[in-house]
């Protein structure tokens, strides 16, 4: 087998939304399933206010703990609120948490990773040690720790979930950066007098976008799971908010007589996480088939 | 290889220090006076002042941290705000339970996950492969605590109803007999199991593509020998490391499982301490779990080096 | 080959970890400790009674505990001078009688003879004096000191007679002496200090503390030197099982003999089980949400009444409790002496909105409701239900919850730190006398750190309550209390909710287990077939 030749490579344009990756994506059935789930989730989350059949916070004690019935397709919760409407509004909350935490993770993680990979040396060492320390904690534990000490609230939960994703992005971006840094066109750009900042912005970042997108999709899945876990432990979103983990926690007392209160939010969480995972896997395959 | 081990050990130390610093410092995040957080809101002003002096809360950070490390090494992690019992003894009482659960889950997930992965890899794209990988994907997406609750419903309500039994088939909470361990172990193992199945399959596929496998087949070896003596053994290295890493993750997942099943482990201790704002216990529990996590990962790294003769350097 | 061996070793190590650790993590519930004294060979097997409850004992210092689960455990170890039976009759316990003394406002108490604390200290007048003085003089004062703080002097008349000199007549005195917080602790134990008392208990009762695993179980063993009839049960275990569902499973499986606080939704199903009996005990505990009348917007009586009209307590009791509660029509439960019924605040959303508008409260105003969780039956659920209904009249409610040990200090915070707007609480009038239920909660002298969290201050009510304390004629007292309750009801310093009905599941082979209206559980007279 021939060894890789060091030729003067032209920077391969890696179009993000080009004909190639999109087509590959569409040909993968599981990824399409994932995409469908994700789109459905986003749609429900955004339009919950309008399409929910009932007021999600309106109690009807006479319907407390009743199972699925004609007016209430997924049953009623412990004080008679409509489960379907609550799940829909919960979708919005999960979506918010997912996006916010990804935003935090990307902002800090990408910056750290790029700086670390590009400048190398002491910066790299320092940042990587920091990342290692963060990775020393099992991630859910780190989130729990932050919320426990900062005080349980929705903002702190989002912050904590965002923070635990930073190391993942940092490592990912760092390794991409390292790869790209070796490409000759970077050397050329430096030779032509480009500043670091310019190179970072113009050359490194665009090529790092692909793995970031893949990771973010998977990250939203992880964020939703983490949010549900925190909600279940009672340290996530405030109790009156219909977050799926909260709903499971509150319904726990009634699992023997009214299991639907616990079953449906869990199913919802599972499918949404599944959707994002399938989509993420599919995107990974589509955007960089060499990595298969 | 000894060099590698020593190098890894040395690298682990700053990580441990950093992590413990983080845990030590975390009590400062609590809004208000850290002395009050440690002594408890119900403590008398004298007790609060005493705590402040004993822990040197007015000293500069590095002094406080060294004092903290020193104390912790001696086994003093403070006293629980809720019960007044030393944190270290509460943890010592609960930790074995968590380890027991995590170890059992690890064994269960390996016993089921790995064979599934191997089999799937040998018959790629078959019904079995598709089915098992789908299940694995579901297993990874399912919230552990929800699975725990579903198991509870099944074993404590549905199964007795179908089999017309007077009581639940398995006790839903508590501990004390092997029956109490079944459901928490399954719940905790599910996630790991799925990951190991997928991982094993991926590794096996990777290995099966290699040239030496083709050689073995060309030599006329029976397929089964090809798989087990050559492919599996070589795929085993990354698989083993994944197993080891799972143990650490299981420690984290135990928090949720223990809460669902009221298993008296360190995870549940942590959750209850959070409810009670019992900061000394929270700190202690997190520190112990984290140190366990780091040490486990370290052990796995060393094991990896030990098993894979190709690894010489970092 | 080498790799395989290494791997095998690794797996074996792991397996041995699992198998080696596969011992029961905690002692199984049926571990009976060996009897304390040598047992003759024809004595039947020691009997153990396992009680599962949702809360652990706070600690063992009976002077400082505040919750009935704690008293339940401790009142097997410690005894009071008198015992209030479930029907409200006062019986002698450590004291034999109480009568008015010769001097004004003095009372003579004759004590039982031949009683010893379990550390050998004799129980006598000196012990009583030491105990009562401790309650009256210790700083910070015990929470329940207000029960007997009318006592000015405790005198020893002779070895078994004590004289209490009060500043005025005090009708509920004997009833108050039956309260658990006024139990008799061994004087030698008192000397050891409060921290020692938190973890140890030396009393005169039928049981002694054998073991306490915090958050798991308290084990009590029979006191071989008990002065009274020996209890039939040798070991009583109070096991902590937080989840309602889990307690139900234990009682159904028979691993528990008694399960406390059964969720109403499950009671019917359990009652149908031939091995289980459900004991329904009308409670003395009223659950309410008090308004801080000094904080906006609850300074205005119209707002408080509006909230009362907004919440459909009847539906809550009917649907969320399946009828296992009683809609409040007074601040105290019917079983309490001094109760008189008032017209209930039935749900009327229009009227509520009108009242709010009158008071000038704009729609969308946010208020913060504090509530405990896991302390009262379905407390968090009720808070959520209340929140959702108040929302319909235009008030946004934010819920805040704290665990019980933090909750109690929070609602007893003094001004100016106390910024609570409204909070949920329960009050069990364990003395079955209105003084306990009304004085502590509505008299202006009981503002936090007392239990008048509403900061309610009505001179007329004060006067009525003060007078009812000194008047000895029951009819006159009843009249005074009726007037006071009427005023309180109109003033609505509370969102009046319901009084609890206790549902306890007991295995059919257990007899004589008592669930007292004051929520204490009594195993002393129980037996197991």
Q: CATH number of the domain that A152 lies in?
A: 1.10.3720.10
Provide the pLDDT for residue C243: 74
**Is residue A4 in a domain?**
no
Bridge partners of C79? C184
Which residues from chain B sit within 8 angstroms of residue A148, using beta carbons? 274, 282
Q: Among B144, B251, B293, B273, which Cα is nearest to A137's?
A: B293
Which residues from chain A sit within 8 angstroms of residue C247, using beta carbons? none
Task: Name the domain count of chain A.
Answer: 1
Q: Answer yes or no: are the C-beta atoms of B187 and B104 closer than 8 Å.
A: no
Record the pTM.
Answer: 0.82
Provide the pLDDT for residue C9: 52
Q: Answer yes or no: are the C-beta atoms of B191 and B253 closer than 8 Å.
A: yes
Provide the pLDDT for residue C335: 82
Q: Answer yes or no: are the C-beta atoms of B110 and B240 closer than 8 Å.
A: no
d(CA A166, CA A178): 18
Provide the pLDDT for residue C367: 92
- The secondary element (H helix, E strand) that includes residue C166 is strand C161-166
Cross-chain Cβ contact C25/B277 below 8 Å: no
Residue C436 half-sphere exposure, CB side, CA atoms within 13 Å? 26
**Is residue A74 in a domain?**
no
Which residues from chain A sit within 8 angstroms of residue C391, using beta carbons? 57
Provide the pLDDT for residue B309: 65
d(CA C515, CA C509): 16
Q: Among A45, A55, A51, which Cα is nearest to A81's?
A: A55
CA distance B50 to chain A (A): 22
Sort B11 into a burial class: Cβ within 10 Å, 0-12 / 13-18 / 19+: middle
d(CA A93, CA A154): 10
d(CA B104, CA B185): 6
Mutate to test the interface with B, among A37, A90, A157, A229 (most CBs of B within 10 A): A229
Rounded alpha-carbon distances, angstroms, from residue C318 to A60, C325, C328, C496: 12, 8, 13, 16
CB atoms within 10 A of CB C521: 24
Give the pair of three-digit tokens for residue A68. 């699925």
d(CA B193, CA A263): 22
Which residues from chain C sit within 8 angstroms of residue B148, using beta carbons? none
Size of interface A-B (CB pairs under 8 A): 130
Q: Look up tokens 């029509």; give the residue.
A: C329
What residue numbers bound the domain in which A274 lies?
36-47+81-286
Mutate to test the interface with A, among C243, C311, C315, C406 (most CBs of A within 10 A): C315
**Which distant-in-sequence residues (6+ apart) come within 8 Å of A181 by Cβ?**
A117, A118, A204
Express each pLDDT in A242-281 by its tens digit. Answer: 999 999 998 888 887 788 999 999 999 999 999 999 999 8
pLDDT averaged over 10-residue windows placed end to end, chain C, 529 residues? 48 48 36 43 75 85 85 92 86 89 86 90 91 88 83 90 87 86 90 86 91 86 90 90 78 85 81 87 89 90 92 90 88 87 90 90 90 84 91 90 80 84 90 86 87 90 89 88 93 92 90 86 86
Q: Which chains touch B (3 or more CB pairs under 8 A)?
A: A, C
Which residues from chain A sit within 8 angstroms of residue C389, using beta carbons? 59
Alpha-carbon Rg of chain A, whole angstroms? 23
Cross-chain Cβ contact B149/A271 below 8 Å: no
Provide the pLDDT for residue A8: 43
Closest CB to C265: pick one of A61, A80, A257.
Answer: A257
Rounded alpha-carbon distances, angstroms, from residue C437 to B214, C282, C372, C443: 87, 16, 20, 11
CA distance C253 to chain B (A): 5
A253 touching chain C per CB within 8 A: yes
Phi, psi of C326, rounded to the nearest 5 degrees: -130, 125
d(CA C422, CA C494): 9
Q: Where are the domains of chain B?
A: 2-73, 96-307
Cross-chain Cβ contact C409/B275 below 8 Å: no
A148 touching chain C per CB within 8 A: no
Rounded alpha-carbon distances, angstroms, from residue A255 to A65, A69, A77, A262, B152: 10, 18, 11, 7, 9
Q: Answer yes or no: are the C-beta atoms of C376 and C500 closer than 8 Å.
A: yes
Provide the pLDDT for residue A76: 92
d(CA A181, CA A183): 5
CATH class of the domain comprising B96-307: mainly alpha
Which long-range CB contacts under 8 A does A123-127 form with residues at least 24 apart?
Answer: A124/A174, A127/A170
Provide the pLDDT for residue A44: 93
Sort B10 into a burial class: Cβ within 10 Å, 0-12 / 13-18 / 19+: exposed
Rounded alpha-carbon distances, angstroms, from residue C10 to B1, B6, B193, B294, C1: 19, 21, 19, 19, 14
Among chain A residues, the shortest Cα distance to B260 is held by A252
Q: Among C107, C150, C140, which Cα is nearest to C470's?
A: C150
Which residues from chain B sit within 8 angstroms of residue C15, using beta carbons? 107
Q: Which chains touch C (3 or more CB pairs under 8 A)?
A: A, B
Query: Is residue B12 helix, strand or coil?
Result: helix
Give the pair of three-digit tokens for residue C205. 């009762």
d(CA B204, CA A16): 32
DSSP symbol at A138: -
Closest CB to A137: pick one of B150, B157, B290.
Answer: B290
CB atoms within 10 A of CB C53: 24
Query: Is residue C335 helix, strand or coil?
Result: coil
CA distance C230 to chain A (A): 39
Cross-chain Cβ contact B256/A245 below 8 Å: no
Sort C105 into a burial class: Cβ within 10 Å, 0-12 / 13-18 / 19+: middle
d(CA A232, CA C494): 32
Cross-chain Cβ contact B143/A229 below 8 Å: yes
Which residues from chain C sit within 8 angstroms of residue A254, using beta carbons? 245, 263, 265
* Chain B (6-25) residues lying within 8 Å, Cβ to Cβ, of chain A: 14-16, 18-19, 22-23
DSSP symbol at A222: H
Q: Look up tokens 């989509």; give the residue.
A: A279
Q: Look up tokens 């405990």; give the residue.
A: C372
d(CA A95, CA A102): 11
Q: Among C73, C381, C72, C52, which Cα is nearest to C249's?
A: C52
Among chain B residues, the shortest Cα distance to A266 is held by B146
CB atoms within 10 A of CB C62: 25
Q: Among C448, C490, C483, C491, which Cα is nearest to C466's?
A: C483
Query: Is residue C94 helix, strand or coil?
Result: coil
Q: Answer yes or no: are the C-beta atoms of C467 and C481 closer than 8 Å.
A: no
Closest CB to B19: pick one of A136, A245, A262.
Answer: A136
B64: left (phi over 0), alpha (psi -120 to 50) or beta: alpha
Which residues from chain C sit within 8 angstroms of residue A55, using beta carbons? none
d(CA C435, CA C446): 13
Q: Among A117, C391, C252, C15, which Cα is nearest to B157's?
A: C252
Closest CB to B99: pick one of C6, C21, C242.
Answer: C21
Q: pLDDT (tens digit, 0 to 9) for every residue of chain B, 314 residues total?
A: 677 778 888 888 888 888 888 888 888 888 777 787 777 766 777 888 888 877 777 778 888 888 888 888 888 888 887 777 889 988 998 899 899 899 899 889 888 988 888 888 888 888 888 888 888 989 889 999 999 999 888 887 788 778 877 666 777 676 677 888 888 899 999 988 998 888 888 888 887 777 777 777 777 777 777 667 767 777 777 777 777 778 877 887 889 999 888 888 899 899 888 888 888 899 899 999 888 888 888 888 887 777 766 655 54
Cross-chain Cβ contact B29/A149 below 8 Å: yes
Which residues from chain A sit within 8 angstroms of residue C252, using beta carbons? none
Size of interface B-C (CB pairs under 8 A): 96
Q: pLDDT (tens digit, 0 to 9) for every residue of chain A, 292 residues total?
A: 344 444 444 445 555 555 666 777 777 788 889 999 999 999 999 998 899 899 888 888 888 888 898 888 999 998 889 999 999 999 999 999 999 999 999 999 988 988 888 888 888 888 988 898 898 888 888 999 999 888 888 899 999 999 999 999 999 888 888 887 777 666 777 777 767 777 667 777 777 888 888 899 999 999 999 999 999 998 888 888 899 999 999 888 888 778 899 999 999 999 999 999 999 988 888 776 554 3
**Is residue A141 in a domain?**
yes
Which residues from chain C sit within 8 angstroms of residue A59, using beta carbons? 385, 388-389
Cross-chain Cβ contact B107/C21 below 8 Å: no
């Amino acid at each position: 087998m021939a060894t890789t030749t060091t030729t003067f490579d032209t920077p391969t344009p890696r179009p993000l939304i080009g004909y190639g990756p999109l087509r590959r994506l569409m040909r993968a059935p599981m990824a399409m399933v994932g995409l469908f789930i994700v789109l459905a989730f986003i749609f429900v989350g955004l339009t919950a206010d309008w399409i929910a059949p009932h007021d999600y916070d309106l109690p009807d004690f006479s319907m407390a703990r009743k199972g699925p019935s004609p007016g209430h397709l997924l049953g009623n919760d412990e004080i008679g609120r409509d489960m379907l409407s609550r799940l829909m509004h919960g979708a919005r909350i999960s979506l918010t948490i997912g996006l916010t935490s990804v935003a935090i993770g990307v902002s800090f993680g990408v910056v750290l990773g790029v700086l670390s990979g590009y400048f190398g040396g002491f910066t790299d060492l320092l940042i990587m040690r920091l990342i290692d320390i963060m990775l020393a904690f099992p991630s859910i534990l780190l989130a729990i720790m932050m919320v426990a000490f900062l005080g349980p609230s929705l903002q702190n939960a989002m912050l904590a979930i965002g923070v635990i994703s930073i190391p993942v992005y940092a490592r990912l971006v760092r390794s991409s950066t390292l790869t790209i840094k070796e490409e000759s066109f970077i050397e050329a750009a430096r030779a032509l007098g480009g500043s670091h900042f310019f190179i970072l912005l113009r050359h490194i970042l665009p090529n790092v976008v692909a793995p970031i997108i893949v990771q973010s999709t998977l990250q939203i899945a992880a964020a939703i799971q983490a949010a549900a876990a925190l909600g279940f432990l009672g340290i996530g979103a405030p109790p009156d908010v219909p977050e799926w983990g909260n709903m499971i926690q509150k319904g726990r007392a009634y699992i023997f007589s009214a299991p639907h209160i616990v079953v449906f939010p869990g199913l919802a969480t599972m499918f949404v996480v599944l959707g994002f995972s399938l989509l993420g896997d599919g995107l990974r395959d589509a955007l960089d088939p060499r990595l298969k | 290889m000894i060099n590698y081990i020593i190098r890894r050990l040395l690298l682990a130390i700053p990580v441990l220090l950093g992590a413990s610093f983080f845990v030590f410092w975390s009590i400062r995040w609590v809004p208000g006076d850290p002395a009050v957080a440690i002594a408890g809101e119900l403590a008398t002003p004298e007790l609060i002042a005493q705590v402040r002096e004993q822990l040197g809360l007015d000293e500069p950070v590095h002094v406080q941290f060294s004092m903290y490390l020193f104390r912790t090494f001696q086994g003093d992690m403070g006293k629980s705000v809720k019960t007044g019992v030393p944190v270290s003894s509460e943890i010592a009482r609960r930790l074995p339970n968590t380890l027991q659960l995590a170890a059992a889950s690890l064994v269960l997930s390996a016993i089921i996950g790995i064979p599934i992965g191997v089999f799937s890899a040998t018959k790629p794209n078959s019904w079995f492969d598709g089915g098992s990988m789908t299940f694995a994907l579901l297993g990874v997406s399912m919230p552990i605590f929800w699975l725990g609750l579903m198991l509870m419903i099944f074993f404590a309500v549905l199964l007795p109803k179908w089999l017309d039994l007077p009581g639940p088939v398995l006790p839903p909470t508590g501990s004390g007999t092997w029956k109490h361990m079944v459901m928490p172990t399954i719940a905790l193992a599910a996630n790991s199991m799925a990951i190991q199945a997928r991982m094993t399959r991926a590794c096996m596929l990777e290995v099966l593509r290699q040239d030496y496998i083709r050689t073995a087949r060309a030599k006329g070896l029976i397929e089964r020998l090809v798989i087990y003596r050559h492919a599996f053994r070589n795929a085993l290295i990354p698989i083993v490391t994944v197993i080891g890493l799972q143990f650490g993750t299981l420690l984290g997942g135990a928090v949720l499982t223990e809460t669902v099943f009221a298993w008296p482990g360190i995870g549940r201790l942590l959750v209850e301490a959070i409810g009670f704002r019992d900061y000394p216990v929270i700190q202690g529990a997190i520190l112990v779990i984290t140190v366990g996590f780091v040490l486990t990962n370290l052990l796995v790294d060393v094991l990896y080096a030990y098993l894979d003769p190709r690894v010489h350097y970092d | 080959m080498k790799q395989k061996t290494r791997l095998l070793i690794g797996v074996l190590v792991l397996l041995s970890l699992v198998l080696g650790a596969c011992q029961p993590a905690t002692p199984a519930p049926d571990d009976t400790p060996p009897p304390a004294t040598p047992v003759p060979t024809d004595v039947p097997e020691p009997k153990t009674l396992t009680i599962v409850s949702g809360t652990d004992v706070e600690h063992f210092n009976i002077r400082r505990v505040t919750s009935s689960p704690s008293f339940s455990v401790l009142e097997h170890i410690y005894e009071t001078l008198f015992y209030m039976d479930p029907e409200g009759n006062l019986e002698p316990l450590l004291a034999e009688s109480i009568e008015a003394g010769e001097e004004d406002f003095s009372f003579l108490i004759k004590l039982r003879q031949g009683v010893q604390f379990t550390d050998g200290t004799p129980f006598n007048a000196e012990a009583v004096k030491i105990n009562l003085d401790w309650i009256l003089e210790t700083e910070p004062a015990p929470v329940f000191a207000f029960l007997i703080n009318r006592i000015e002097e405790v005198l020893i008349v002779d070895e078994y007679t004590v004289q209490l000199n009060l500043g005025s007549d005090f009708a509920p005195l004997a009833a108050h002496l039956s309260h658990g917080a006024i139990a008799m602790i061994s004087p030698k134990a008192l000397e050891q200090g409060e921290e020692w008392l938190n973890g140890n208990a030396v009393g005169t009762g039928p049981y002694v503390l054998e073991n306490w695993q915090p958050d798991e179980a308290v084990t009590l063993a029979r006191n071989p030197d008990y002065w009274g009839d020996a209890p039939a049960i040798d070991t009583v275990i109070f096991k902590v099982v937080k989840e309602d569902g889990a307690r139900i499973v234990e009682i159904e499986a028979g691993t528990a003999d008694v399960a406390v606080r059964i969720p109403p939704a499950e009671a019917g199903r359990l009652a149908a089980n031939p091995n289980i009996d459900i004991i329904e005990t009308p409670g003395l505990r009223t659950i309410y949400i008090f308004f801080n009348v000094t904080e906006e917007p609850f300074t205005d009586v119209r707002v408080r009444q509006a909230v009362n009209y907004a919440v459909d307590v009847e539906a809550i009791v009917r649907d969320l409790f399946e009828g296992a509660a009683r809609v409040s029509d007074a601040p105290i439960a019917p079983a309490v002496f001094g109760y008189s019924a008032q017209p209930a605040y039935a749900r009327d959303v229009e009227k509520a909105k009108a009242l709010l508008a009158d008071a000038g409260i704009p729609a969308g105003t946010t208020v913060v409701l504090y509530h405990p969780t896991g302390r009262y039956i379905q407390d968090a659920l009720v808070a959520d239900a209340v929140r959702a209904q108040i929302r319909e009249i235009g008030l946004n409610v934010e819920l805040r919850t704290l665990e019980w040990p933090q909750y109690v200090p929070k609602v007893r915070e003094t001004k100016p730190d106390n910024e609570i707007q409204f909070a949920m609480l329960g009050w069990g009038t364990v003395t079955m006398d209105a003084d306990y239920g009304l004085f502590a909660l509505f008299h202006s002298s009981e503002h936090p750190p007392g239990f008048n969290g509403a900061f309610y201050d009505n001179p007329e009510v004060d006067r009525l309550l003060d007078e009812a304390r000194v008047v000895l004629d029951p009819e006159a007292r009843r009249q005074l209390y009726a007037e006071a309750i009427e005023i309180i009801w109109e003033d609505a310093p509370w969102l009046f909710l319901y009084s609890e009905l206790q549902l306890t599941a007991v295995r059919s082979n257990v007899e004589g287990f008592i669930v007292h209206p004051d929520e204490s559980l009594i195993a002393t007279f129980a037996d197991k077939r």
